[in-house]
Amino acid sequence: MASFSSTISSPRHALSPNTFVHEAKHKRISGSHCRTFPLHSQRSPICRMGFISRFERKETTKHQIFASVTDTTVDKSPEKVKLPKGDIWSVHKFGGTCVGTSERIKNVANVILSDDSEGKLVIVSAMSKVTDMMYDLINKAQSRDESYISALDAVLEKHRSTAVDILEGDDLGSFLSQLHHDISNLKAMLRAIYIAGHATESFTDFVVGHGELWSAQLLSSVVRKNGVDCQWMDTREVLIVNPTSSNQVDPDYTESEKRLEKWYSKNQSKTIVATGFIASTPENIPTTLKRDGSDFSAAIMGALFRAGQVTIWTDVDGVYSADPRKVSEAVILKTLSYQEAWEMSYFGANVLHPRTIIPVMRYDIPIIIRNIFNLSAPGTKICHPSADCYEDDQRLESFVKGFATIDNLALVNVEGTGMAGVPGTASAIFDAVKDVGANVIMISQASSEHSVCFAVPEKEVKAVAEALQSRFRQALAAGRLSQVAVIPNCSILAAVGQKMASTPGVSATLFNALAKANINVRAIAQGCSEYNVTVVLKREDCIRGLRAVHSRFYLSRTTIAMGIIGPGLIGSTLLDQLRDQAATLKEEFNIDLRVMGITGSRTMLLSDSGIDLSRWRELQKEEGVMADLEKFIHHVHGNHFIPNTVVVDCTADSLIASHYNNWLRKGIHVVTPNKKANSGPLDQYLKLRALQRQSYTHYFYEATVGAGLPIISTLRGLLETGDRILRIEGIFSGTLSYIFNNFIGSRNFSEVVAEAKQAGYTEPDPRDDLSGTDVQRKVIILARESGLKLELSDIPVESLVPEPLQASASAEDFMQKLPQFDHELAAKRQIAEDAGEVLRYVGVVDVVKQEGEVKLRTYKKDHPFAQLSGSDNIIAFTTTRYKDKQPLIVRGPGAGAEVTAGGVFSDILRLASYLGAPS
């Protein structure tokens, strides 16, 4: 029995081993008898098609008569059937994963059977991984690695066991004998490659195409088993392509159409299962459409049949707005224009081979991408934008359909003043690039003509740079060209959309999203087609950039990844507030906050998609790991799909504060109630502020002064609108506010302190409040915000801790001894009282005199500071607009976990609105 797949399509050089030659002759002769076997009855024996290697053609001359006799008979036959072309045909292409196992092959057969189109043409890929395995055989054999033999056995076993699962009786027997036959041929061929230590391209193409030959035979047998007449087609008999210099092939439609007619006249059937990926040259040498080429096969066949539609079945619900493996929030696109689909696939969306579009576009045949594992999903329809199916609304966002990336690129920059206005430079550059066979993926030339920059695959850049150096040696030596520079480790990020580039604002939004993610763009190209804007980024920024731009166009919500440091009183209150508010924020304000990590000093809890805040305490106990700040930051910032990161420092630790600079540099926003950074060394503060101004990274610290009260923001507002601050004076300590508000009548100072301690208003050691250093830190923060360049030590503080008790061993000891000093403050209170005044512990920033202080002052009883109750803070801003007697006053509770956490929360929301959340 002739074996078409192995014998007649053996490449011309394949036949050096004697056994092989012998076998080839033998097969052809037996093929010439054209016996019909159950499985092989669908094949075209050699005598009909003359699909032979050159080697064999030479040999066949003596059998010529057979071929011509057969052909003549067919040609003269009155009942020769013409291929009915047109809408009656529906084309289905099944990718490797669709036919990856015996179960899946059966499932595919069911999908075919349930399509009620009149004619069905099915293009099938090799079972998943098989093409890789076949390439691996070649690589092993040519590098003289004996293990190609066992690897070939694995290929045999994979197909044998699948066949045993899904076929039976004669069908199984025929398939297995064919399979064994093919494998023994391959073995001989691989042996030859092993000996030669080299495989030609046609050897390789012949070997690797077997995966499709086997999967197509298996699938067609299963369809037939279900009682449907079904022919299988070895597309090498029909599809004729011409190789091009760029490792691609161009279909010869005229010749292919002729061969298809011929094939159909002998194999007419309304259900045809054809091999994807493989084809022949006009000389009948087996070739392939190159990796992932089955999509292209389906499109060409769709065009040859003038099919009604081509469905590409794969393992995802359709074309996503970005690679779903990289952007988990990507959405399925309902429709795409041919151009958009082409651009997406060209720039790396491997859901569709880029060349799939052209053949079907010629006849306006729509392509549908569907998921074999989710038949309920309608998929993505690729069609002409004017077609009824195409949905195109006019929102700005809809101008961008999707994003794709290509990694492992290098930029080459050819620069020099001698280039401007000199015709032929670009052509000389790209000539040199062409000579080394490198593929240029994108080109950009500044209109000053001083530089031409282009991207090539990283593995080709060395050769390209050398070629350019040598081509331009003279120009470089003479200084007409200043350099040929290579920038390695780059990636391309492409945004694709019908007319995106021509719509004002779309590109701006794209670049804005990149800027906000603190990503530097190295080169830009925009095709005149206006379907695409391409940017070159550092490789390490690529995924973050992709997620940032994707979320800008596709997530209507502003998504922020949060890392919370210090789940103490304020931190845990904040987490509870976030838990209670998250849903409302998402639904009503489009803000999506996700806590990706919580770390204390000992344990940390990390999550890839966001911690369930209703259970964070339990989760921390159950799943917490040893705290490691570096790992924590890396996780929160680097290891997820969210473009914006904020670290919320709820500690009072200066060590944590010392990291802000580094975090901001990395593009991590910082929100904190921790005073240590802003009240620490002046140069550290100035650096943070400078960083903030240079980048789009934000640093908010409203809760460092007055907890949730709008103090820093009020001050900023005044300054930014051109007001001049003259003086800030206030009661900044909730504890001291409480103490003096209650230090009335004949009450003792120590008694009020004890009461405040009891009520939890003081630090565990009340001296931390009474010493005034906390107020001093707030004063320095406000002084610096107002533009004063002062150190903490420049702010004198009047401590309320009596001198002899400053060194007391413990808080208890202090509390016990404090009554001994009650008379001092009682006396001061009396003097004030006599003058109609009260005592208040205040902080003052005198901007005019460029100084600040913290002290006990007296105020008239009708002064706003005298009217306070509880633990309220009050801050008075005297400015050129808010003059002396009428300062701007902010007053309210300025201490406690709820209001402090609330202040931090409102900074987080401010960040969200800076990042683009709707107001």
Which residues here bind ligand ASP, judged by CB under 6 A?
Answer: 95-96, 125-126, 131, 211, 276-277, 291-295
788 binds, among ligand ADP, ligand ASP, Mg ion, none (CB under 5 to 8 A by kind): none
Q: Whole-angstrom Cα distance, residue 389 to residue 382?
A: 9
Stretch that binds ligand ADP, among 313-321, 449-457, 516-524, 671-679 (CB under 6 A): 313-321
- Residue 323 interacts with ligand ADP (CB under 6 A): yes or no: yes
Q: Give the three-class secondary structure for 45.
A: coil
252 is an interface residue for Mg ion by CB under 5 A: no
379 is a contact residue toward ligand ADP (CB under 6 A): no
Q: Which is nearer to ligand ASP, 12 or 353 (CB)?
A: 353
Q: How far apart are CA 189 and CA 16, in angstroms?
A: 9
In this complex, which beta carbon is closest to ligand ADP, that of residue 289 or of residue 901?
289
Spatial distance between the Cα atoms of 777 and 763, rounded to a whole number of angstroms: 16
For residues 266 and 326, the answer to whether their CB atoms sit within 8 Å is no
Closer Cβ to ligand ASP, 264 or 296, answer by number: 296
Question: Does 400 sit near ligand ADP (CB under 6 A)?
Answer: no
Active-site residue, selected from the candidate residues 778, 789, 855, 885? 778
Choose among Mg ion, ligand ADP, ligand ASP, none what residue 293 binds, the Cβ cut-off being 5 to 8 Å by kind: ligand ASP
Q: Which stretch binds Mg ion (CB under 5 A): 73-81, 289-297, 564-572, 645-653?
A: 289-297
Strand-strand pairing, 451-457 and 442-445: antiparallel
131 binds, among ligand ADP, ligand ASP, Mg ion, none (CB under 5 to 8 A by kind): ligand ASP
Choose between 553 and 616: whose C-beta lies nearer to ligand ADP.
Answer: 553
Is 96 or 673 the residue whose CB approaches ligand ASP more closely?
Answer: 96
> What is the closest distance, in whole angstroms, from the C-beta atom of residue 324 to ligand ADP in the complex?
6
Size (the chain), residues: 919
323 binds Mg ion (CB under 5 A): no
Tokens standing for 870? 């509880």
315 binds, among ligand ADP, ligand ASP, Mg ion, none (CB under 5 to 8 A by kind): ligand ADP
Q: How far is the CB of 131 from ligand ASP (least distance, A)?
A: 3
> Does residue 541 bind Mg ion (CB under 5 A)?
no
Count residues contacting Mg ion (CB under 5 A)?
1
45 contributes a contact to ligand ADP by CB under 6 A: no
Considering the complex, what minimum distance in angstroms separates the CB of residue 397 from ligand ADP?
Answer: 17
By CB under 6 A, residue 773 contacts ligand ADP = no
Closest C-alpha to 29, from 47, 11, 10, 52: 47
- Comparing CB distances to ligand ADP, the nearer of 97 and 217 is 97
Buried b (16+ CB within 10 A) or exposed e, 214-244: bbbbbbbbbbbbeebebbbbbbbbbbbbeee
User: Does the protein bind ligand ADP through residue 395 (CB under 6 A)?
Assistant: no
Specify the DSSP class assigned to residue 111. H
> Nearest-5° angle of CA 169, CA 48, CA 112?
45
Helix extents (H) in 242-378: 253-267, 294-305, 338-346, 357-361
Is residue 349 a contact residue for ligand ADP (CB under 6 A)?
yes
Measured distance CA(266)–CA(263) in Å, rounded: 6
- Please name which of 262, 254, 251, 379 lies closest in space to residue 309, comparing C-alpha atoms: 379
Binding segment for ligand ADP among 20-28, 131-139, 349-357, 533-541 (CB under 6 A)? 349-357
Between 97 and 878, name the residue whose CB sits nearer to ligand ADP. 97
* One-letter amino acid of 225: K
Respond yes or no: is residue 778 known to be catalytic: yes
Q: How far apart are CA 173 and CA 163, in angstroms?
A: 9
| DSSP 3-state of 409 | strand
Question: In 3-state terms, what secondary structure has residue 214?
Answer: helix
**If you write DSSP's letter for every residue of 153-192 in order, what string do you get?**
HHHHHHHHHHHHHH--HHHHHHHHHHHHHHHHHHHHHHHH
Nearest CB to ligand ASP, comparing residues 274 and 490? 274
Of residues 290 and 538, the one with the C-beta less far from ligand ASP? 290
What letter would DSSP give residue 291? T
Which residue reads 């197509």 in tokens?
A: 216
Residue 419 binds: one of ligand ADP, Mg ion, ligand ASP, none (C-beta under 5 to 8 A by kind): none
Beta strands in 656-749 (DSSP E): 669-671, 699-700, 725-731
CB-nearest residue to ligand ADP: 95
| Stretch of residues binding ligand ADP (CB under 6 A), selected from 311-319, 471-479, 667-675, 734-742 | 311-319
Q: Is 314 in the site for ligand ADP (CB under 6 A)?
A: yes
Binding status of residue 96 toward ligand ADP by CB under 6 A: yes
447 vs 450, 453, 608, CA distance in Å? 8, 12, 45
Cα dihedral sign for 856, 860, 864, 867? Answer: positive
How many C-beta atoms lie closer than 10 Å to residue 361's C-beta?
Answer: 20
Q: Which residue do the tokens 């903030």 mark?
A: 692
Phi then psi for residue 644, to 5 deg, are -110, 140
DSSP state, residue 320: B
Size, binding site for ligand ADP by CB under 6 A: 18
Pick from 703, 608, 679: nearest CA to 910: 703
Residue 95 binds ligand ADP (CB under 6 A)? yes
Tell me how far CA of residue 606 lies from CA of 517, 564, 601, 685, in angstroms: 22, 10, 14, 30
Contacts of 195 (CB under 8 A, 6+ apart): none
- Least Å distance, CB 212 to Mg ion, is 13
Question: What is the x/- site pattern for ligand ADP, positions 279-308, by CB under 6 A?
Answer: -------------x----------------
Q: Does 292 bind Mg ion (CB under 5 A)?
A: yes
- CA-based nearest residue to 575, from 546, 607, 553: 607
Distances (CA, A) of 141 to 185, 190, 641: 14, 6, 42
Q: Please tell me whether residue 750 binds ligand ADP under the rule CB under 6 A.
A: no
Q: Residue 580: helix, strand or coil by DSSP?
A: helix
Question: What distance in Å separates the CA atoms of residue 246 and residue 290, rounded to the nearest whole number?
Answer: 11
Closer residue to ligand ADP, CB minimum distance, 315 or 723: 315
DSSP 348: T
Q: Based on CB atoms, which residue is closest to ligand ASP, 126 or 854?
A: 126
Helix, strand or coil, per DSSP, at residue 110: helix
Q: How far is the CB of 334 from ligand ASP (least distance, A)?
A: 24
- Nearer residue to Mg ion within complex by CB, 292 or 872: 292
Q: Least Å distance between CB 337 and ligand ADP?
A: 15
Residue 131 found at the interface with ligand ADP (CB under 6 A): no
Residue type, 60: T
Beta strand 241-243 with 380-383 is unpaired
199 binds ligand ADP, rule: CB under 6 A: no
Q: Indicate the residue among 7 and 215 with the shorter CB distance to ligand ASP.
A: 215
**Closest separation in Å from C-beta 321 to Mg ion:** 18
CB of 6 to ligand ADP, least distance (A): 25
- What is the closest distance, in whole angstroms, from the C-beta atom of residue 128 to ligand ASP in the complex? 8
Binds 319: which of ligand ADP, ligand ASP, Mg ion, none (CB < 5-8 Å by kind): ligand ADP
Judged by beta carbon distances under 5 to 8 A according to partner kind, the member of ligand ADP, Mg ion, ligand ASP, none in contact with residue 325 is ligand ADP
Q: Is 97 in the site for ligand ADP (CB under 6 A)?
A: yes
> Near Mg ion by CB under 5 A, which window of 86-94, 218-226, 291-299, 384-392?
291-299
Contact 864, 888 (CB under 8 A): no
- The conformation of residue 597, written as its DSSP 8-state character, comes to E
Which of the choices ligand ADP, Mg ion, ligand ASP, none does residue 349 contact, using the CB cut-off of 5 to 8 A by kind?
ligand ADP
Which residues would be at the binding site for ligand ADP (CB under 6 A)? 95-97, 125, 292, 314-316, 319-320, 322-325, 349-351, 402
Which residues would be at the binding site for Mg ion (CB under 5 A)? 292
Cite the active site residues: 778
